[in-house]
Amino acid sequence: MSSSKISLQHHFSLNLVENTIKTNFTNISRGRKNKRKYVIYGIYMFLITFIIMRFMHLTNICRTLYIHRGLQVKAKVIISPRIILFEPNRKELFYSDVLSGEYIDNSIKNDYFLYTLGVGVERVEYPLDAAFYSNLDSLSSSKNSENRPYYNSIKSSQLSNNVIEVITRSYCRIKLNNHAKVLYVTKLPSALSVLIHFYEATQAIREKLLQSFLYWLPRGQSLLAFGVLFGQIDRFPQELHEYFINSGVIHVVAASGYNVTVVIVMIQRLLKKFNFIRVVFLLTLAGIIIYCMLAGASPSVLRAGIMGGLAIVAKSMGRPSPALVLLAVTTLCMLLISPLLIVNLSFLLSVSATVGLVLFGPEQTVAYKSKPSTVLCQIKLTLKESLLTSLAASAFTLPLIVVIFKRLSIISFISNTVLLWCVPLIMIVSVIYLVAQYIHPWIGLLLAFPLWAITTTFLRVVKVFATLPFASVEWETPHWSIIPVSYTCLILLFLYKNRLKRLKV
């Protein structure tokens, strides 16, 4: 199973959102005690939730088709897939427009080969390059030799059994059965293609933003800055990726609830003096959706986005929205719409980390505390916050990680405590850098220096943590019963904690 799927939910829960929304939205429901209006608001909320869910689900489908590759893969093809580029080394699918005939994906690293699907019948065209054949051979696990001459055909059974099935002219099902992973793709109704174009546009923006980081900064540094803002795991160089995993800070470069929280808070603060509360509410919702699209609409981001959206809707109606209930509703809805998420590791980790944060996380965030008097005190508080957050999130994700990856990162608590406070700093500097770079590259260069300094230091520290002896310990045969046992213990602990509090009061 791919280890890149780890994406812990980090930092704070929705406390920050609640605090902000409290100040802005409480007056909506003031004086409205009419029951009928509550019913109308209920329907309103249900509709919005449904639209968001439908929308997010759709983008989720698109995402699996885009396979994190961004621009070059055309969304039109999703509606009528013709050419599928299959990259055997990484076991992924690529799509392209059959008519353009151009080179499709500049970022394909390994070799690939080209299938063309006819209408109703599957037809296989000649692969592009001689090197593809050897890869094909390695797929069918036979030995390859140097300078193999042209193949004239590819075993069509390979296609029909494993990769692609074309059913009718308009309806195409693509089944990829690698590592027991199954993807179904159906033809989408044309009315929804507007949404796909919208998604395409956000992907273009995403790619542009990454390019403006890459304009000055080296690859690792720009991917870190970009990943902190929008989440980006896949394009990391292999070596760097392993460093991040071994030191247990890979969640930093995965978009998560923290990012969504920041988006909500930013919009709320910008529109603080704006009096039309409902407009602000709608703008915030739109902001969440746009951010989710920009962040690639991965299951963990969707979960965070839906939770944030629900919180805002609930607050605008003056209803309480405890984070645990929100999480439960969100998870259930997402699972109802696409049940396959239950085996999605990134989704599981995201949900379990959020549970941990809600139950055991620090109650308030640094941003809302009264300023500590001394610098030393502030540092102490920040570190304490980091440690508490990572402890709370790890408590619930650790059993899963141990059982699935058979690996235990010992250093992760220390590395998270040391590094987590950098994340907001990188965020701020990156945003300013992006704005400056948009104005002129030379102004961007001025800000590239501090950004380079922070990110380089960050990467260095990550490398140091990852290469420490005993940074992560392999555990060959963890028993599955670890998961239920540890979860029971944690829940008991939570109940006990509450009782303790009550006793104190």
Does 318 bind other proteins (CB under 8 A)? Our answer is no
Does 126 bind other proteins (CB under 8 A)? Our answer is no
Number of residues interacting with other proteins: please give it, by CB under 8 A: 28
Helix %, strand %, coil % for the chain, to 5?
65, 5, 30
Q: Which of 55, 216, 347, 433 binds other proteins (CB under 8 A)?
A: 216
Q: Which is nearer to other proteins, 360 or 433 (CB)?
A: 433
Shortest separation between residue 20's beta carbon and other proteins, angstroms: 24
Yes or no: say if 286 and 328 are a contact pair by the CB < 8 Å rule: no
Q: Which of 217, 292, 418, 471 binds other proteins (CB under 8 A)?
A: 217
Does 112 bind other proteins (CB under 8 A)? Our answer is no
Does 208 bind other proteins (CB under 8 A)? Our answer is no
Q: Which is nearer to other proteins, 138 or 488 (CB)?
A: 138
Yes or no: say if 277 and 27 are a contact pair by the CB < 8 Å rule: yes
Sign of CA dihedral 348, 351, 354, 358: negative
List the interface residues with other proteins, window 397-416 (CB under 8 A).
Answer: none
Shortest separation between residue 77's beta carbon and other proteins, angstroms: 20
Q: Which phi and psi (to 5°) does residue 122 adopt? A: -90, 130
Report the C-alpha gap between 70 and 65 in whole angstroms: 10
Long-range Cβ contact pairs of 269-276 (< 8 A, separation 24 or more): 269/20, 272/24
List the interface residues with other proteins, window 328-387 (CB under 8 A).
Answer: none
Report the C-alpha gap between 431 and 47 in whole angstroms: 34
Report the C-alpha gap between 344 and 340 in whole angstroms: 7
Does 109 bind other proteins (CB under 8 A)? Our answer is yes
Q: Which of 2, 32, 51, 103 binds other proteins (CB under 8 A)?
A: 103
* Span near other proteins by CB under 8 A; candidates 138-146, 195-203, 269-277, 371-379: 138-146
Does 446 bind other proteins (CB under 8 A)? Our answer is yes
Shortest separation between residue 146's beta carbon and other proteins, angstroms: 6
Strand residue runs (E) in 379-486: 407-409, 472-474
* Span near other proteins by CB under 8 A; candidates 1-9, 33-41, 179-187, 217-225: 217-225
Report the C-alpha gap between 31 and 491 in whole angstroms: 39
Report the C-alpha gap between 182 and 175 in whole angstroms: 6
Tokens 């979960």 correspond to 303
Q: What is the CA radius of gyration of the chain?
A: 24
**142 to 181: interface string for other proteins, x by CB under 8 A:** --x-x-----------------------------------
Q: Which of 98, 129, 155, 492 binds other proteins (CB under 8 A)?
A: 129
Does 40 bind other proteins (CB under 8 A)? Our answer is no
Does 16 bind other proteins (CB under 8 A)? Our answer is no
Q: Which is nearer to other proteins, 214 or 277 (CB)?
A: 214
If DSSP codes are grouped into helix, strand and coil, which group holds residue 443?
Answer: helix
DSSP string, 74-110: -SHHHHS--EEEEETTTTEEEEE-TTT-S---TT--S
Shortest separation between residue 19's beta carbon and other proteins, angstroms: 25
Does 450 bind other proteins (CB under 8 A)? Our answer is yes
Shortest separation between residue 138's beta carbon and other proteins, angstroms: 8
Q: Which is nearer to other proteins, 391 or 445 (CB)?
A: 445
**271 to 300: interface string for other proteins, x by CB under 8 A:** ------------------------------
Give the chain's count of helices (H) and strands (E): 18, 8
If DSSP codes are grouped into helix, strand and coil, which group holds residue 472?
Answer: strand
Does 128 bind other proteins (CB under 8 A)? Our answer is yes
All residues at 6 or more sequence positions from 482 whose CB lies less than 8 Å from its CB, including other chains = 399, 402, 403
Tokens 């959102």 correspond to 17
Yes or no: say if 84 and 115 are a contact pair by the CB < 8 Å rule: yes
* Span near other proteins by CB under 8 A; candidates 73-81, 115-123, 219-227, 257-265: 219-227
Yes or no: say if 375 and 91 are a contact pair by the CB < 8 Å rule: no
Binding site for other proteins (CB under 8 A): 103, 106-107, 109, 128-129, 131, 134, 138, 144, 146, 214-221, 237, 445-450, 452-453
